[in-house]
Amino acid sequence: MIGVIAQEHETNTVEEFFQLFKVPWEFYRSGASYDVILISGPAPDGVVAQLVLIYGSNAHSSDRQTGTIGLAKVDNAKLDWKGNQIPLYGQLLTFGAADQNIVCATAAAEVAAIELKLRNPRVIRLGFNLFEEIAFLLDAGQPVESALIPSLDLHIGLLRDLILASGVSIIEIPPMPTGHDFAVCLTHDIDFVGIRRHKFDHTMWGFLYRSTIGAMSNFIRGKTSFHRLLQCWKAAIKLPFVFLGWARDFWMPFEWYLDVEKNLSPTYFFIPFKRRQGENVTVSHADRRGCAYDITDIPDWVARLQAAGCEIGVHGIDAWHSIEKGREELNRVASIAGATGLGIRSHWLLRDGNTYGVLDKAGYSYDSTCGYNETPGYRSGTMQVFRPPGATELLELPLHIQDGALFFPGRQELSEAQAERQCTAFIESAEKRGGVLTVLWHDRSHGPERFWGEFYFELLQMLKKRKVWFGTAAEVVAWFRKRREISFKVIRDADDLDNVYLCGRRERVTPPFRVRIHTPRASGEEIKIVDIAWDGDSDFNPYPNVAANVA
């Protein structure tokens, strides 16, 4: 059991952190017994545990008692841990290393954490505030320059390693269902439904330019093949016949997606009202944000997608800043989809500091706007579904990989080989740490003039070869919501031994939870890890199930 001593304003962040690092914990109670005590606020004298972790960039009340010497405060530091660099967004207090064991340093070789040479207990002093870092990641999110670092997940890994290195075993519900290393959500923001709706507007003229002059320029620069150049020209020639209804509309995405994503449970976010650019839009070309269709134009396609196991969500216009309009947009999509508990992703990924609370009050089940337009990445520093600040019921499904961020001019503009390497890094991170990899591929991306469909098909083949659970956004969020409802109960038996019980939901969960026991071994040996499947329908004591394996 972990006892936490935090500052009063950190309470909500502490609770959310331990929903992500799902282990037995509680706020510190005087007289209670703990294996680990984690301190970020004023602590009483005489706290006792096998391991005491003291976080903070300011001088702590215990520093004078323990002789801890802080040297200087550093901004923009990066922790160097197991070959990873963890950016710190608050200040770091560095330490002198004389007569102390260095636990963690920065990329610039400054001492960021030390083990104090005390007889008992083991005390580690870390020069940053863990919960301030977590609060920043879940609220503001990481700047673009740190986008490719799963900072929050790395903080969890560092804490886990410190506990295990002290000989304390851990029971954890990791963010990976039994039988799967991680989940995948395939999502589509439907901004266009066919080019036929775009006669003599900027979308049509832009397509003609990109499929003729732009395509030739890309061919000359070696950015596209001769075969794709011919396909672009062919599409441009066909455009009048598409408008007349004599040729297939090459921007109609649904048949293609239904074919390549069969049985992969994708989620489609649809525009609720056409020709609305929205209010409070301050980014460039705001007048182009209005769409030429809305969901009421395509009820047959909505029904067909749902019949194929796809989820329907809201591609919000003003919901990010207005409760009233958020409800209006939700009701509009729900009236066609005939569904409740809808999720949302804001058109153009617009949001501000109040968005989470607004969406929560408007009645959305989840949001999936937390991502970047400029680059793939971990905006919140994690692959886990989380409850964002300001929300009560709403959960956030973070966005990681977007087609436009990978390939669009002015963004990453990667080659397919470069994009494959970047996507592989995300997949390998997910295999190691769990969570959900959320992918966004837009409606017109598979056809001319983008031709990003071939890469998407190959990405799906890569994912199918892994131990992946493909779920709709709603299904994956629901699984994480059920994981959040698990609680731990410690009961002392007749032999004066503490037993940890997992308190279930009295409801069978599919796929089952994974209960993971980390057991430290003798010095120099690897940590023993045992996984047990648990469907959550009853209280459960996992230790008898692993005793033979751990011995």
Dump pLDDT digits (tens) for 488-520: 887 765 555 567 788 876 788 999 999 999 988
The answer to whether 204 and 214 have CB atoms below 8 angstroms apart is: no
- Residue 489 is predicted with a pLDDT of 85
Token couple for 350 = 């617009």
430: Cβ contacts below 8 Å, ≥ 6 apart? 181, 182, 383, 436, 437
d(CA 278, CA 318): 6
Tell me the average pLDDT across 104-127: 85
Measured in degrees and rounded to the nearest 5, phi and psi for residue 58 equal -100, 160
The yes-or-no verdict on residue 120 having pLDDT over 80 is no
What's the pTM? 0.93
Per-residue pLDDT tens over the stretch 122-163:
889 999 999 999 999 999 999 999 999 999 999 999 999 999
Classified as helix, coil or strand, 459 is helix
Which pair of tokens denotes residue 493?
């038996």
Length of the chain: 551
Q: Which residues of the chain does CATH 3.20.20.370 include?
A: 183-194+251-480
With a pLDDT cut of 90, the percent of the chain lying above it is: 66
Could you tell me the pLDDT band of residue 164, with boundaries at 50, 70 and 90? very high
DSSP-derived secondary structure for 139-151: HT---GGGTT--H
- Which residues have C-beta within 8 Å of that of residue 49, sequence separation ≥ 6? 3, 34, 35, 36, 37, 121
Can you give the pLDDT at residue 207?
87
Identify the weakest region by mean pLDDT among 163-167, 421-425, 475-479. 163-167
Rounded CA-CA distance 22/27 in Å is 15
Say how far apart CA 488 and CA 500 lie, in whole Å: 7
Query: What token pair was written down for 434?
Result: 């769990």
8 A C-beta contact, residue 171 and residue 23: yes
Q: Which CATH superfamily is domain 2-172 in?
A: Class I glutamine amidotransferase (GATase) domain (3.40.50.880)
Q: Fold for domain 183-194+251-480?
A: TIM Barrel (3.20.20)
Are the C-beta atoms of 190 and 271 separated by less than 8 Å?
yes
pLDDT of residue 549: 39
DSSP character for 213?
I
pLDDT digits (tens, 9 = 90+) for 313-368: 999 999 999 999 999 999 999 999 998 899 999 999 999 999 999 999 999 999 99
| Predicted pLDDT of residue 259 | 96
Instruction: In the chain, list all ranges with CATH 3.40.50.880.
Output: 2-172
